[in-house]
A and B are shown apart, each in its own frame.
Chain A
């Protein structure tokens, strides 16, 4: 199951968010070797972790964090606009209140299911993201990642297209791509991973939709 941490319930989940920042450091700095993110206090937190950020936290039966990912509004500073504009190679970047950037995807390697086939944890991770989009009125996600993840995005049901050719960053190919959520997306995700129930727990808080708020305001 997964929970959303947004500005609406930030105070209630400050402990979890602390665990998130420490998990991010272990995962991205130590496991993925993204040295540029290293922090002396072992908390991986950056300038985009504002109250506007949405954190999707996957929890296992013992309440430990099994997966994590972060969505950032494209109507505020985010990676392609502020840090890596060269990734788009001069191509226009789709932005808007219903387009969010999908960042910091982490599946806890120690929590992964063993064996082949579509792992349940991975499935719940993707389903949580898709369900979040549906709850928050997010039409599409912007991703900068290894080209191999384009296949994953297509597999789980996003209508995906590249925004530029891959370039190299830190010795690895990186490509910006666009994932649209359609009516077919969630059923497809559930079908691929054999999920029959929603993953996201939204009843505990009245989740306001930041995107819809912005449209109204």
Chain B
């Protein structure tokens, strides 16, 4: 399958290939002229039906570094709902002759529905609370980079925050577990899925009980509307129990790293300036995001042409 829709569909073999391919992309990105012709003649459409600036820019930068042509279709989902159906939109753009859709949608499952309506490759840039596979890949890559060749086996990854509504959490639980990491979820029960007993994770409700043993502390964004939904009594209560404060930073292992998918809610889950967190990988995440997405686009758009990703890459360089 060429599509990139979920971590589970990608599987560990393809994930390893993508991470290795990312090394090449990091090298390209570091060049004085960070651009190769690998995807020249390919057309990629960014279909962002939910607000997102950074993921869209990251994908578009990635596509441009590989010389693909890019188009952007960016509207709020509500205006699409009023007029043209999603199927009509997809079919119309497909008729223009595109090779890949990069899709972000507030509804879970849209990338799966789309593949019934287009022959183009579908790359999931986040669907509802379901999956965000390129985020998980860039997180894996960033952690791998920080480990400098050491394995992720047994690594303690602590994910804190609104697991219930988080596609990042769903993707990362699968991705890190696949690499042999031990994942702990930290949240009040109201921000956990109604049942996640079947996930390969430990669930705790006390951040302070596990923060000292974390190798990776992964802070999720808390949307302030959760209070209005009755999931939390007050944001300040959440911050004091689950936010990253300077005293909690002090309790981290010296080797621990801190990550956040962005955008950060300063004063909610991040009560310290991330620039002052010694182990922060937040900037590397953003930088690596472009290279990982280059790898994903290249892999998805050159598979099926009988060319091994790695050798084609070298040929294009």
Co-assembled chains A and B:
no
